[in-house]
Structure 1
């Protein structure tokens, strides 16, 4: 495997004292970091030091929020939302289009921050910037279509008018993960703002600066200052404070935590959307283009070091092409460039933390001890950075191995041979998850038919995950234990609204008139129903 040693960031002014002044060893000046951290609602006087996974450099002292701070954030957000909800769709769309332009103009700055905080390769950090810009443009352009009042069929044709309004929920709580710190911090909140809501966000502690930069860009684009509040702290403490005050909760993270979020939301009778874990399959059918499939499988398995909710961890390859495909897949994997830094040529960066590294090591060593074969990879690479682990392909993974059904969330994939497509579909549907799947075949019609039998919320054909993830008009989310609700498309914005039906009755009232008896009125209604049946009206 190629490798690249860590790059050094530019030196800032002033004496380097990283423990007390984290920005001293970081590629950004102290004032820049301080301005971002001031966006956290916090009066506790407490802070938590964050470090880059690339080389352990201190990044920032992040102020920590108390329950009182969360309460203040919601008070500010509610005041801002009261006026924001009365703004026009056109005004909101104009601001989102400015955000689109600002994000593209500041792409390099955003990407730098994402790389430093997450340790991912630059090309994967760019994906985040691009996705946020696309999300802003999509909801700006489709705002009227998704939010304008709709006419529905009334009870009495010509006499009953029904309007369906989309009313904002109020203040949305968004709890976002570290693995895609820019896009996950913003892409769920953008439609919430477009629908007339305010947001209180709690980004993951590992990647606060990237999320705070996103909040700054929202304000620069023209959103009211208090409309987007940011709080920080341990999820076990701050999370319940958010759920206890929000009108709707959007959570992305583990299935175990998602269950607790859903239970707490149920106690308050508020809605939530949850994107949770996955053990995502990819099916390489007998007629697949082997080179295209090998390239896609490499991205599916190792983008962002496998720390992607929709990345592949289980691969099923048809007998007829198995050996040729595996040869090409291994070769592509071994040709990947691993490294820490901002170079566009890096194919895979670091894991985020020691916890993630420990999980990956434990899964691989357990599989190896129980008879799985490591076709390539399988090694921790401290020479590149503290949390680097080689992209790893396993063969012979069996149900008694930890990695068989448990999500690894790292650069580890198992390759399995199948004899017929019915068997492949059954194996792909094994387990409790159902987030994303991929199918490689040159017969699009057959692949789409197979996709309907796969119990996953998104299925990509001849692509790893980008086709569904980047198609903003299509919903994205999980089935079974991979979550509930959807982001993107109409479902991604309607989740933040209440449906309100307004019926206007003209002329005849829905009751007997002019001394008519209830019995006669009932007969008239039955005659009307039969006439409507004959005209095929609903």
Structure 2
């Protein structure tokens, strides 16, 4: 029976979304339904000249937007919050069609911008409010910290969570008074385009949120060269290129990059919970989550029990293409990416690893399906041992002592996310704090950390620079202006005053400031 596309995804609806993308002579890109490979819409491709015009329009709109009172800017997002929830099912249809993920992951992705809006609607008035502090001369001087918007922020969003990254990363920047030029991945441009249309329906000025499309090498240089700040989520190799170019332009950037994320199971862990968590950690979003687990470390005393239960639970998963909540796991994002995942598994097997379950493509289900795969005997001379596979593939490892487990978890160039499971939470936290990772989840895989919007989330080592969420997630999109006021000219020697006398008085004043704690 042929897969029935959702009624919401009409040709007119899809054409209306992509009509926003500027393209004078850039041609188009065939955006397909991943489940079937059928064409959804021709996506316009932007030229460097198109990008320059997008920036010009964004800058004009940003000057007016930054002049709006903060209360009025935030009112747009209060209305958008309701619209995003009201239209979550349509957004989910788009996410599934363009990315191939199962419906559970797609509907959960629609929640992220709503959660980000909720957090910053409460936090923005405090973060963006001018803060007056004392100056160098008590009573006669003040210094005020004023947060000014950067200007136009370039956001480069990945294909694995196109709506969450394309829209969520824009929200705090827009609230702070910036404009946005977004470059989504060609494969997954529809859901962020829909998100922008909802923001405009909520009252966001037209022209403030621009979208340009194209392959990275074609549009990336122009995109970065005209930005005041860059937010990028993607591979470490691409992140280096973006960071270098941003550095040459003397602009800031935030980079959330790759990971080879470990999970440590302690001896006192509840295996019922661990197995359930491990299924999501390895196979959630078909393994295409930056923070998903690719390495699992088990104590020798519980290794066999966990392995057998984990394999059984994996083999019970249902895989398929459906716009309902039936399948436990969906497709990979493209046939090309499926071949990359298969190459990692084939390389591991050729070098001595054992496939406990899975390990094969499933062309009978669709062009980019791959079975959930558990490997044993993976070593560091294998691609799957050191390189991010970014698919439904996980390797099991034994350890003898907790010290050995921590050393193995840290034996990587990456440091994005980690997971520790144990019955004694205090002990598990002590282990977690020893792992070199920007995010560590105790008795969870990733959701607790990522959904904690009040705390910054980022990577260490080769997994990134900077963070999203928390106060940092908004303040990074601002420049600090120090507005200093001197009420009376008292700094410096008075006319005719002996300078030695002035210096003695100045040094005495410094001593007094220290004793009285005046700053």
TM-score interval w.r.t. the shorter chain?
over 0.9
Distance in 2, matches of 1:380 and 1:487, equals 35
Q: Assess if the C-alpha contact under 8 Å between 1:6 and 1:385 holds in 2.
A: no
Q: SS of the counterpart of 2:258?
A: coil
Partner of 1:99: 80
What do residues 391-424 of structure 1 show as CA deviations (whole Å, max 9, x unaligned)? 1111111111111110000000111111111111
1:236 aligns with 2:217: yes
Q: Assess if the C-alpha contact under 8 Å between 1:6 and 1:340 holds in 2.
A: no
Partner of 1:453: 434
Q: SS of the counterpart of 2:274?
A: helix
Distance in 1, matches of 2:329 and 2:306, equals 21
1:456-535 mapped onto 2 (5 Å cutoff): 456-507=437-488, 509-535=490-516
Partner of 1:434: 415
Q: Assess if the C-alpha contact under 8 Å between 2:26 and 2:46 holds in 1.
A: no
* Aligned counterpart for 1:162 among listed residues 143, 147, 150: 143
Structure 2 gap ranges (5+): none
1:305 aligns with 2:286: yes
Distance in 1, matches of 2:14 and 2:79, equals 24
Partner of 2:29: 48
1:403-422 mapped onto 2 (5 Å cutoff): 403-422=384-403
1:109 aligns with 2:87: no
1:293 aligns with 2:289: no
Q: SS of the counterpart of 1:322?
A: helix
Q: SS of the counterpart of 1:467?
A: helix
Partner of 1:9: 5
Q: Assess if the C-alpha contact under 8 Å between 1:473 and 1:489 holds in 2.
A: yes
1:280-429 mapped onto 2 (5 Å cutoff): 280-429=261-410
Q: Assess if the C-alpha contact under 8 Å between 1:381 and 1:389 holds in 2.
A: yes
What do residues 43-86 of structure 1 show as CA deviations (whole Å, max 9, x unaligned)? 22621111111011101101111111001100000000001011
Partner of 2:152: 171
Q: SS of the counterpart of 1:338?
A: coil
Distance in 1, matches of 2:511 and 2:2, equals 77
Q: Assess if the C-alpha contact under 8 Å between 1:300 and 1:311 holds in 2.
A: yes
Partner of 1:259: 240
Distance in 2, matches of 1:272 and 1:352, equals 27
Q: Assess if the C-alpha contact under 8 Å between 1:117 and 1:207 holds in 2.
A: yes
1:149-228 mapped onto 2 (5 Å cutoff): 149-228=130-209
Distance in 1, matches of 2:6 and 2:80, equals 28
What do residues 160-197 of structure 1 show as CA deviations (whole Å, max 9, x unaligned)? 21110110000001111110111111011111101100
Q: Assess if the C-alpha contact under 8 Å between 1:6 and 1:55 holds in 2.
A: no
Distance in 1, matches of 2:126 and 2:429, equals 28
Please identify, of 435-444 and 513-522, the stretch whose mean Cα deviation from structure 2 is larger.
513-522
Q: What TM-score does the superposition give when structure 1 sets the normalisation length?
A: 0.94
Q: Once the 2 structures are TM-superposed, how far is the Cα of residue 286 of structure 1 from its aligned partner?
A: 1.2
Distance in 1, matches of 2:409 and 2:215, equals 35
Partner of 1:24: none
Q: Assess if the C-alpha contact under 8 Å between 1:6 and 1:341 holds in 2.
A: no
Q: Once the 2 structures are TM-superposed, how far is the Cα of residue 324 of structure 1 from its aligned partner?
A: 2.0
Q: Assess if the C-alpha contact under 8 Å between 2:6 and 2:93 holds in 1.
A: no
Distance in 2, matches of 1:398 and 1:10, equals 44
C-alpha RMSD over aligned residues = 1.5
Partner of 1:17: none
Distance in 2, matches of 1:525 and 1:324, equals 74
Distance in 2, matches of 1:516 and 1:394, equals 82
The alignment covers a number of residue pairs equal to 519
* Aligned counterpart for 1:76 among listed residues 51, 57, 72: 57
Distance in 2, matches of 1:523 and 1:65, equals 66
Structure 1 gap ranges (5+): 12-26
Partner of 2:252: 271
Q: 1:393 to 1:96 in 2, by over 3 A?
A: same
* Aligned counterpart for 1:64 among listed residues 42, 45, 53: 45
Moved over 3 A (4+): 535-538
Q: SS of the counterpart of 1:379?
A: coil
Q: What TM-score does the superposition give when structure 2 sets the normalisation length?
A: 0.97
What do residues 514-535 of structure 1 show as CA deviations (whole Å, max 9, x unaligned)? 4323322222222222223334
Q: Once the 2 structures are TM-superposed, how far is the Cα of residue 384 of structure 1 from its aligned partner?
A: 1.0
* Aligned counterpart for 1:38 among listed residues 3, 16, 19: 19
Distance in 1, matches of 2:481 and 2:313, equals 54
Q: SS of the counterpart of 1:43?
A: coil
Q: Assess if the C-alpha contact under 8 Å between 2:277 and 2:444 holds in 1.
A: yes
Q: SS of the counterpart of 1:437?
A: strand
Q: Assess if the C-alpha contact under 8 Å between 1:92 and 1:140 holds in 2.
A: no
What do residues 344-373 of structure 1 show as CA deviations (whole Å, max 9, x unaligned)? 132110001122111111111111121111
Q: 1:151 to 1:445 in 2, by over 3 A?
A: farther
Q: Assess if the C-alpha contact under 8 Å between 1:175 and 1:250 holds in 2.
A: yes
Distance in 2, matches of 1:451 and 1:10, equals 43
What do residues 214-267 of structure 1 show as CA deviations (whole Å, max 9, x unaligned)? 111111111001000011111111111110100111111111111110111111
Distance in 1, matches of 2:350 and 2:333, equals 26
